Amino acid sequence: MAAALETRGLVKRFGGLVATDNVTFRLEQGARHALIGPNGAGKTTFINLLTGVLAPTSGQILLEGQDITRLRPELRVQRGLARTFQINQLFPAMTPLETLGLAVSERMGGGHDWWRVIGSKREIVDEIVEIAERFRLTDVLDERTANLAYGKQRLLEIAVAFACRPRVLLLDEPAAGVPEAERHELLATVAALPRDVSVLLIEHDMDLVFSFADRISVLVNGGLFTEGSVEEVSTDPRVRAVYLGESVDE
């Protein structure tokens, strides 16, 4: 079976700097895979290459076996590759309801529908409700996004990506900055993501990585340093040396 997402010899150079260094990587179907690495390891560049914000210098990206290396970002989303952002990228003046309605109707191909009111289709409404319940947003659907508690905004950040019905979901530090009190809710919804969605988690928080992931890849200086199961990586002395030492041993 083709990997959910795969890169082959992916390279990105910025002038003399090699930000992504020959990364060959597989995200298996239904995987819960974490990508970790010290600051500046090139995690963000890697995500931007996967989503099409940046074009690679060389190498290939395959989504479910199909080459998407040259595909525009929005077409990758339509093929089933969605992401969340480390820093919230929401629509502050819109309500969560409108935001989800937008994402759902875009996915159903109604985005250029200029005549109907957005809520007039039953399947759109049903899906908004389903997503709102999954991400515990039902009680704030009609608030302005800018007014939501940070934890709720974080949930919405993931809900919007989920509303694109991705086959592959890239979560970029989903728990970043969420206060302790709202953290549990967020982690629970991330853990409850359906298994048919393959998830690549980019994270600093080792608790979240260990509780969520079944495989871990370590990125150092733009290249894949090692990859393995949670036990393998967490007990690998070289990984501890470059990265985990400071956050696990204390």
Partner 1 sequence: MQSDTADNVRAALGRRGRWGWGEVAFWLVAAATLVFLPERHLILNEIAIIGLFALSLDLILGYAGIVSLGHAAFFGLGAYAAGILAKNGIGDPLLGLGVAALAAAILGFVTSFLVLRGSDLTKLMVTLGVALVLGELANQMSWLTGGADGLQGITMGPILGLFEFDIFGTVAYAYSLVVTFVLFVIARRIVVSPYGLSLRSIRDNPLRARAVGIPVNRRLVAVYTLAAAYAGVAGALLAQTTQFVSLDVLAFHRSADVMLVLVIGGVGYLYGGLIGAVFFKVLQDVLSAWTPQYWQFWIGLILVLLVLAGRERLTDRVRALRPRSRRGLATDKARPLPTTTAREV
Neighbouring residues of 211: CB distance < 8 A, sequence distance ≥ 6: 187, 191
By C-beta, is 21 or 143 nearer to partner 1?
143
By C-beta, is 103 or 190 nearer to partner 1?
103
CA distance 163 to 127: 8
> Between the CA of residue 213 and those of 13, 92, 149, 183, 204, what are the distances in Å?
29, 31, 27, 17, 13
Neighbouring residues of 111: CB distance < 8 A, sequence distance ≥ 6: 102, 105
Least spacing, CB of residue 64 vs partner 1, in Å? 17
Sort strands 5-14 and 32-36 into parallel, antiparallel or unpaired.
unpaired
By C-beta, is 109 or 194 nearer to partner 1?
109
By C-beta, is 28 or 143 nearer to partner 1?
143
Query: How is residue 143 written in tokens?
Result: 């608030």
Residues that bind partner 1 (CB under 8 A): 51, 72-75, 77-78, 82-83, 85, 89-95, 97-99, 101-103, 105-107, 110-120, 125-126, 128-129, 132-133, 138, 141-144, 146-147, 160-161, 163-164
Least spacing, CB of residue 180 vs partner 1, in Å? 24
Least spacing, CB of residue 112 vs partner 1, in Å? 6
Least spacing, CB of residue 102 vs partner 1, in Å? 5
Cα atoms found within 13 Å of the Cα of residue 149, Cβ hemisphere only: 15
CA distance 80 to 64: 9
Least spacing, CB of residue 67 vs partner 1, in Å? 19
Least spacing, CB of residue 140 vs partner 1, in Å? 10
Q: At 191, is the secondary structure helix, strand, or coil?
A: helix
By C-beta, is 11 or 47 nearer to partner 1?
47
By C-beta, is 65 or 92 nearer to partner 1?
92
Closest CA to 54 of 46, 63, 62: 46
